[in-house]
């Protein structure tokens, strides 16, 4: 089983076919960065049309059992998530509405301070806000996963501790291995995993050691050491693959409508743009390379199977339905 818990590609029939060639059983797709509720609904509509156009390749995913259905029918189950709480605007009632529409993950922040928590680019981390605490509990109730991939340290730890259900960092790597702003420090990963949460490893070059020149060996050794430290059952893949996106999309991701200035990100002075992917992971057909790399570290077959998809499957099964009373 192969599950990728974060992609933001420029979707096309070509990519849908590559998902099948790569044996990817399920993906989480970013359906909103800075969009408001109405704009996010339009993105759901766009995906509904793709499900109609390519029913032999993709299907909408809402529950873990949909991954079983996708595997049985040779398709990829597509689950939806938000990288920002903007789709719920300032209305806690929209949490249940977006879950009903099909959203299954929502980040409490995207780099900046939000109404809910603090992003990783802010100087001061105030933790969860009053609204943030109430929204987390509402997300728990309906089955919308709290994602802290772009959140600051205190906010992430508070979310892990306050949430009544395990949370996720769907796409990041350990800060000790690659000290990017977005990567997570030891005590942050520990807080998430000790509360039953998940960490998805990213292949986005800004989050890799040596960036685009990162080797498969380095990446897989990092995964193996993280498994030794936090437990392999808490680990998965969240590539953050942005395949075929134009560089202008990076500007939308970072700037949205909140600023008139260019947010260069990660300390770079270059104009926003997508860096070259590492040679061993260009697109969805390359998941086998990660499996081979993990095998070379000496990891057991069942551990590799967990990281490649089994652990996310279990997390999905426990997370997407209403909270048990």
**Domain housing 243:** 3-87+167-319
Can you give the pLDDT at residue 305?
98
User: What whole-number percentage of the chain has pLDDT above 90?
Assistant: 89
As for how many domains the chain has, the answer is 1
Assess if residue 188 is contained within a domain.
yes
Query: Over the stretch 186-197, which tens digit does the pLDDT of each residue have?
Result: 999 999 999 999
Assess if residue 174 is contained within a domain.
yes
Q: In Å, how far from its chain's centre is CA 22?
A: 19
Assess if residue 139 is contained within a domain.
no
Assess if residue 148 is contained within a domain.
no
Which CATH number goes with the domain that contains 233? Answer: 3.20.20.140
R_g (Cα) of the chain, nearest Å: 18
Least confident of 44-48, 262-266, 294-298: 262-266
Q: How many helices (H) and strands (E) does the chain have?
A: 12, 9
What's the mean per-residue pLDDT of the chain?
95
Assess if residue 292 is contained within a domain.
yes
Query: Over the stretch 130-160, which tens digit does the pLDDT of each residue have?
Result: 999 999 999 999 999 999 999 999 999 999 9
Is residue 106 helix, strand or coil? strand
Assess if residue 77 is contained within a domain.
yes
Can you give the pLDDT at residue 261?
81
- Pairwise CA distance, residues 178 & 201, whole Å: 12
Can you give the pLDDT at residue 272?
64
Assess if residue 179 is contained within a domain.
yes
Query: Over the stretch 35-70, which tens digit does the pLDDT of each residue have?
Result: 999 999 999 999 999 999 999 999 999 999 999 999
- Pairwise CA distance, residues 63 & 77, whole Å: 10
Can you give the pLDDT at residue 249?
79
Assess if residue 25 is contained within a domain.
yes
| DSSP element (H, E) containing 27 | strand 26-32
Cβ–Cβ < 8 Å for 179, 213: no
């Amino acid at each position: 089983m192969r599950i990728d818990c974060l992609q933001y590609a420029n979707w096309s029939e070509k990519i849908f076919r590559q998902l099948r060639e790569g044996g990817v059983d399920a993906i989480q797709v970013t359906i909103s960065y800075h969009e408001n509720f109405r704009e996010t609904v339009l993105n759901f509509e766009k995906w509904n049309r793709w499900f109609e156009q390519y029913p032999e390749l993709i299907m909408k995913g809402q529950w873990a059992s949909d991954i079983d259905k996708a595997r049985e029918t040779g398709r990829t189950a597509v689950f939806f998530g938000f990288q920002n709480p903007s789709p719920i605007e300032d209305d806690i009632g929209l949490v249940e509405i977006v879950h009903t529409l099909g959203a299954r993950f929502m980040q409490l922040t995207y780099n900046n301070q939000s109404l809910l928590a603090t992003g990783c680019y802010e100087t001061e981390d105030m933790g969860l806000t009053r609204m943030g605490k109430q929204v987390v509990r509402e997300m728990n109730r309906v089955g919308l996963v709290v994602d802290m991939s772009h959140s600051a340290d205190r906010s992430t730890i508070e979310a892990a501790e306050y949430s009544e259900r395990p949370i996720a960092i769907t796409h990041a790597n350990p800060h000790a291995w690659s000290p990017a702003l977005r990567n997570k420090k030891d005590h942050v990963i520990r807080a998430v995993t000790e509360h039953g949460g998940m960490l998805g490893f990213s292949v986005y070059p800004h989050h890799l050691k040596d960036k685009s020149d990162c080797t498969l060996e380095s990446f897989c050794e990092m995964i193996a050491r993280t498994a030794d430290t936090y437990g392999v059952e808490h680990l998965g893949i969240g590539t953050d693959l942005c395949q075929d996106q134009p560089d202008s999309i990076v500007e939308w991701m970072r700037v949205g409508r909140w600023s008139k200035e260019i947010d260069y990100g990660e300390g770079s002075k270059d104009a926003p743009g997508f860096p070259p992917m590492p040679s061993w992971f260009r697109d969805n057909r390359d998941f086998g390379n990660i499996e081979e790399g993990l095998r070379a570290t000496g990891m057991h077959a069942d551990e590799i199977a967990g990281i490649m998809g089994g652990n996310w499957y279990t997390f999905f099964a426990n997370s997407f339905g209403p909270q048990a009373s």
